[in-house]
Chain A
Amino acid sequence: MNEISITIDGRTVHTQEGEYILNAARANGIFIPAICYLTRCSPTLACRICLVEADGKQVYACNAKAKQGMEITTTTPNILAERRAIMEVYDVNHPLECGVCDQSGECELQNYTLEVGVDSQTYSIKDTHKPAQDWGLIHYDPALCIMCERCITVCKDMIGDAALSTTARGSEGIEAAFKESMPKDAYAMWNKLNKSLISPNAGDTLDCTNCGECTSVCPVGALVSSDYQYSSNAWEHKQIPATCAHCSAGCQLSYDIKHASIENPESKIYRVKNEWNYVSLCGAGRYGYDFENRNVTKDPVAFEAAIAAFKQADTIAFTSTITNEEALILQRLKEKFGYRLINEEARAFKSFLSAYSVVSGTSLYGGDLVEVHASDFVVSIGSALKTDNPNARFAMNNALSMNKGAGLYFHPINDPVIAGMSKSVTQFNHAPMMEEAALYLMLDLFGDKAVMPSSVTEYLASFHSTKTVTVEETVDEKVTETVVKKVLNEETGVEEEVSEEVTKTVKKKVSKEVEVDENALFTLLNAPAGFSDTLTKYLAKKERFSLMVGPDLYTHPNAVNCARLVALIEKYTQFSVTMIPNLSNTLGVAMICDLDSEHGNYTIGYNTAGNFTLSALGGGDLDMPALNQQEGTLTNIDKRVNPTNAALSYSGYVLNDIAKALGINSKFTVDYTAELPVEKGFKSAAFDTLPNHYTNSGEEVRGYRLEIKELESNTDESVEIFDSSAAITDKVVYLANPVLQFSPFTAASHQLHENGGLYISKSFMETNGWNDGDRVHVKTANGELSLNLITDGKIEGEIGYLPTFDTTIKSEALFNGYRFACVSIQKV
């Protein structure tokens, strides 16, 4: 990409070659109206309002690429006439219900109608009856829809559900006279608009992962949140910039707050908004916002009991749904009083990271989701991507659809969502325990064998064998035939027979014996037939490679070996490696806390079980604030330390109060932000100096990035071979959460409240003759649970999973660390 300069309205701006004119203008603060365009997605060309003149020719700024020295004018009399006509057309028959519409005040139709100055109407068409539709969490009112198709675009290019498409509008044709009289582009826009409406692909209702991004991008009130409908007016909210508390993606969002009601002046979160041009939220982030610990007051008796418990305790067990500052307080408590800090999932991640560091020589992985978005070949190993980190899934989908990319997905559970992303994605539904084989395959396919350790190259070579196969080929063959023709003799006027030689090309099938290379790793990983040919197609013209590895590897019995293999992949292939931390702040906790493996005699549980419990979920021995009630920082998958703010008030005790009572003095929890360990890559920056926004050019200005430390070089690159007989072929159960759930906090929100169970695919349900709600006994080597069956329409195959979001289901007790366990399921 070369930097070029173009002139927009007389101003010289610098941009990248191949950048769209619209993006170049936006990045430089020049306004070009645009309705249907979404940054990071493909141009739709529905609204046509972004017309500009480039070198004397009218083009659409959203899909015309900037060229060196281009002269661009954003307004000409003709363009203004087009824009005016376009906005008039959008206003034709648009219901005059701004007074009650949820979008009023932040509606792009309102804004552009005023911007363009529409004060009279020229066009008209007979209106059709379009009743509103209820799609569960989402409400669609087609009467308000202006068919910009942003919802369809974002669902396809960013989210990957492709759950929406256009359907026939059933409207009368546009009066012929308008075609002659109105501006050309406005007519073309109207003609397209007049033919279609939005509809879910699944029929009457949506079949998707309920991210709600379509409601976020909708410029008008056509797609809105069913829960938010008519509950408030948009301009009444105060927006609290924050970081999503639910998963390691740590998306930037804003909590929109307002007083709860006339009687109750306490703040309440009404909805969550996001900068949809630059960050996409999943449904948990969008709908799971009200997980606060309510009605908490300072209870001195409980506090005294807590102090006494801390004096008695020798262990603090906690989850990673805490801020970096709280993690640092826990670490300080450990340093002062020698507590054991127990957090199994963070410990697994931490030891995985350190095993990785030994080989890679760096403290952290090199990739991030920004890199995945920009890649054209994406591989995921060891993660149920859509539920472990929805944003990683969006990044993969975005890379596949926008960069003409291809991808590989290694996971035992077949995921139709991944399959639906692109034609160029292959799923390897390998047996559990075969993750190492997947990592070896990566080294085999992409590793630079010339520089790789010879032991690895030799081991990889042992999987290859040559096989002779018979291939049928079509060959062009020249055949010469003698044809007898009747020719009219011009002299005599009599037909004569003349023989003539004609050469023809004939296609012929030939069987041929060919020597092919057979890769035993393909078979071990259940590769689809003919994968090596598919891969060759995938790899054509690919330049940027990304690998995402997930929690299945951290908890793997051979996690250390997996980590070393991951480091080798990063070293000897072109792949940038991103690790998906399990929970909101697993990375932060892993960097800050020294974690222990063995419980002591008396445990303080923070958001988890213990002899004395501190709980942000309520119901513990001492209440704590939830993540939407406190300030602090969270470390996300992109290795960014992001600030989050308190959206709601909290008047109980916080962890810092306990620390103060125990003699570790800092006035506020956020005083610890500047004290986060610099040697681990944190910066000594005060909380109030941390920004949290995106710029017009899409630059992420949030907190800071952890510094990757170079470690002492270690020449030991040895990796262990894997045992293919360890593959689990019995029935297994997986430890994962359904879509929209991450932890008890998501389940605590009113829109996402649900009870867990054993989630299995529809086909598995049918083969066993089971039904939703049936009670089953789930038994593993570690224990037994009695649960309800729940169908998950977004998985295939015969592996069910147990959730962790429902506190009444002790799923973890059934597993021995690793996320898969052999299981027997009996219907009661």
Chain B
Amino acid sequence: MHHEETFTDRNVSEQSAYFYVDIEAYPTTGWDKFKQVVSRAVKGELFVGLWVVMREMIKFDIHTVQYPKEKLPIGPRYRAVHKLLRLWESGYERCIGCGLCEKICISDCIRMDTRIDENSRKEVTEYSINLGRCIFCGYCAEVCPELAIVHGGRYENASEQRAHFVIKDDMLTPLDLLKAGEQNEYPGFGAIIPGSDASVKKTPLAY
């Protein structure tokens, strides 16, 4: 009844794809050092570099991102400040208050308040993350069974305070944005792995 997972062997060995890079030995004597300096100075490598600078200057094709006026798109697996999403059809919050994120959080920075609401459903009345302690590991997004908590794209979280909290209102998709279709689905950490349907075992149904 005990399940053991077998891991890939990642140790460096002769069979593996890893190899040692061939690095030239450092000069040890004074004469060898002098020879290395001279060869590097006289061979003209300096001018190769100078030419690159000159060429790019004349082309006026500058790659510098004008931050903060301009921001780079970030990769889907980047783990920035959290977002709480809503269900597309009903607009209900996806979060069911199961508390798994709270439990798995290794820096213990998530807290939530829940209660039973008028419709006998579990309602999350308040949800907060202490960003001063959050290490953006992504476990909360990964463990979330409802794809409710995800890492969004907002990576600017400088603050005057060590304890900088995000609360539910900051994270939850506003209803007007949802209606405008501006809630982004999150393909990153914790999202369903492409092709996972194939690995699901089917439960028989009597009807």
Contact = CB atoms under 8 A, between A and B. Distances in A.
Contacts of B207: 126
A110 interface: no
Nearest to B123: A230
B115 A230 contact: yes
A124 B203 contact: yes
A261 B204 contact: no
Nearest to B125: A261
Interface in B129-145: 145
A262 interface: yes
For the complex of A and B, 7 pairs with smallest distance between CB atoms: A99-B98, A233-B99, A230-B116, A100-B122, A124-B204, A230-B122, A124-B206
B184 interface: no
Contact of A262 (B120, B128, B206): B128
Interface of B: 1, 3, 96-100, 102-103, 111-116, 120-123, 126, 128, 145-146, 201, 203-207
A649 B128 CA distance: 24
Contacts of B97: 99-100, 230
A117 interface: yes
B206 A126 contact: yes
A740 to B, nearest CB: 22
A809 interface: no
Contacts of A236: 99, 102-103
Give the interface centre of B120, B126, B145 by most chain A CB atoms within 10 Å: B120
Given A117-B1, A124-B206, A99 B96 contact: yes
Contacts of B3: 117
Given A100-B97, A117-B3, A262-B126, A231 B114 contact: yes
Dominant secondary structure of chain B at its interface with chain A: loop
A104 B96 CA distance: 13
Contacts of A645: none
Interface of A is mostly: loop
Interface of A: 98-100, 104, 115-117, 119-127, 132, 175, 229-233, 235-236, 259, 261-263
A175 B98 contact: no
A113 to B, nearest CB: 11
Nearest to A97: B96
29 contacts: A98-B98, A99-B100, A100-B96, A100-B98, A100-B122, A117-B3, A119-B201, A121-B201, A121-B204, A122-B204, A123-B204, A124-B206, A126-B206, A132-B120, A175-B206, A230-B97, A230-B114, A230-B115, A231-B114, A231-B115, A231-B116, A232-B114, A233-B98, A235-B99, A236-B103, A261-B113, A262-B111, A262-B113, A262-B126
Contact of A233 (B103, B116, B123): B103
Given A175-B206, A233-B102, A262-B113, 16 more contacts: A98-B98, A99-B96, A99-B97, A100-B97, A100-B121, A100-B122, A116-B1, A121-B203, A124-B204, A230-B115, A230-B123, A231-B114, A232-B114, A236-B102, A261-B113, A263-B126
Contacts of A122: 204
A51 B48 CA distance: 82
A486 to B, nearest CB: 69
Contacts of A121: 201, 203-204
A182 to B, nearest CB: 13
A307 B116 CA distance: 47
Given A104-B98, A117-B3, A261 B126 contact: yes
Contacts of B114: 230-233
A354 to B, nearest CB: 53
Contact of A125 (B100, B116, B206): B206
Contacts of B121: 100
A751 to B, nearest CB: 15
A116 B122 CA distance: 30
B112 A262 contact: yes
Contacts of A233: 98-99, 102-103, 114
Nearest to B99: A233
A229 B114 CA distance: 10
A119 B199 CA distance: 12
Q: Counting chain B CB atoms within 10 Å of each CB, which of A119, A233, A259 scores highest? A: A233
A612 to B, nearest CB: 41
Contacts of A263: 126
Contacts of B122: 100, 230
Nearest to A235: B103
Contacts of B206: 124-127, 175
A233 B111 CA distance: 11
Contacts of A231: 114-116
B201 A120 contact: yes
B103 to A, nearest CB: 6
Of B98, B121, B207, the most chain A CB neighbours within 10 A belong to B98
Quick one: which of A127, A132, A261 has the most chain B CB within 10 A? A261
Nearest to A134: B120
A126 B206 CA distance: 5
Contacts of A116: 1
A121 B203 CA distance: 5
A104 B99 CA distance: 10
Contacts of B1: 115-117
A72 to B, nearest CB: 19
B146 to A, nearest CB: 7
B3 to A, nearest CB: 7
B93 to A, nearest CB: 13
B156 to A, nearest CB: 24
B42 to A, nearest CB: 69
Nearest to A229: B116
Contacts of B201: 119-121
A125 B203 CA distance: 11
A426 B126 CA distance: 56
A233 B115 CA distance: 11
A95 to B, nearest CB: 13
B106 to A, nearest CB: 15
Nearest to A122: B204
A267 to B, nearest CB: 14
A120 B202 CA distance: 8
A136 to B, nearest CB: 15
Most chain A beta-carbon contacts within 10 A, residue among B97, B113, B126: B113
A541 B123 CA distance: 58
Which of A98, A100, A175, A232 has the most chain B CB within a 10 Å cutoff?
Answer: A100
A263 B146 CA distance: 26
B169 to A, nearest CB: 13
A131 to B, nearest CB: 10
A104 B102 CA distance: 14
A753 to B, nearest CB: 20
A259 B111 CA distance: 10
